[in-house]
Structure formats: structure tokens, C-alpha cells
Amino acid sequence: MALKSTRYRKVEPAALNRRATPRHTMAISSASLKRNGNKSIPATLLDISIYGCRFEVDAVFKEGEKVTVTVDEHAPVIATMVWQKTKQVGCRFVDALDTAVLRSLTISG
């Protein structure tokens, strides 16, 4: 049952974004994820911030698993898998990403 004050007007969903820093949307297909000692797994970088990123990848990861993230010619970054839903995974960088690297990725993406 609707409240009297909202019965006749459309109520928009709440815009809840609890992130400390904004995520930058992109689609960079030259990314890869690497488990310890294994070969690189091709991935597409979907969004990124200085603290983490989201990929589309054809592989299964476990929560808490450590991976090495490589995008384009940038230096590899160590990250921890936080979640996976179908073909998308989210990871958090062990050390915050350098802002110059983030800037170059967002400009090229």
C-alpha cells in the first residue's frame, strides 16, 4: 500500500553509491588476469577506480584469491578477488593505484 504522499506521484529509486572514489566506465579488451604461476587469462576491463576494478572474463575465481592484473603496457598490479557474478568479477587492489596510471587508463579507455 502506498503512502498518501506518494500515491499519485512517481517515486524514483534511491541513488545509493557508497564508494569512496568514483569508478570510471570503460571497455579495454587488452587486459589480463594471472593466478600464481599460471598463464594469463584474457579479460575486458569494464570499470576502474584507484582502489579496484571490474572485469568480464571467462574463468571462475574464488573470493579472496590473489591475482596479478595487467592492462595494456602498464606495470602489473596485485589484487584480491572480492566477488564474481556470471562472467564478471570485481577485485580490490592490494595497494591503491597511482593516479597517473588511472588518468592514462581513463583517457585511453
How many domains are contained in the chain? 1
Radius of gyration (Cα) for the chain, nearest Å? 18
Decide: 92 and 51 in contact? Cβ < 8 Å: yes
Calculate the CA 97 to chain-centre distance: 13
Q: What is the pLDDT, as a whole number, of residue 78?
A: 95
Tell me if 13 is assigned to some domain.
no
Tell me if 36 is assigned to some domain.
yes
What letter would DSSP give residue 38? S
> What's the CATH code of the domain at 52?
2.40.10.220
Domain containing residue 34: 24-108
Tell me if 86 is assigned to some domain.
yes
Tell me if 7 is assigned to some domain.
no
What letter would DSSP give residue 64? T
Q: pTM for this one?
A: 0.76
Q: What is the pLDDT, as a whole number, of residue 106?
A: 82
Least confident of 43-47, 50-54, 102-106: 102-106
Tell me if 88 is assigned to some domain.
yes
**For residue 39, what pLDDT band results from cuts at 50, 70 and 90?**
confident
Polymer length of the chain: 109
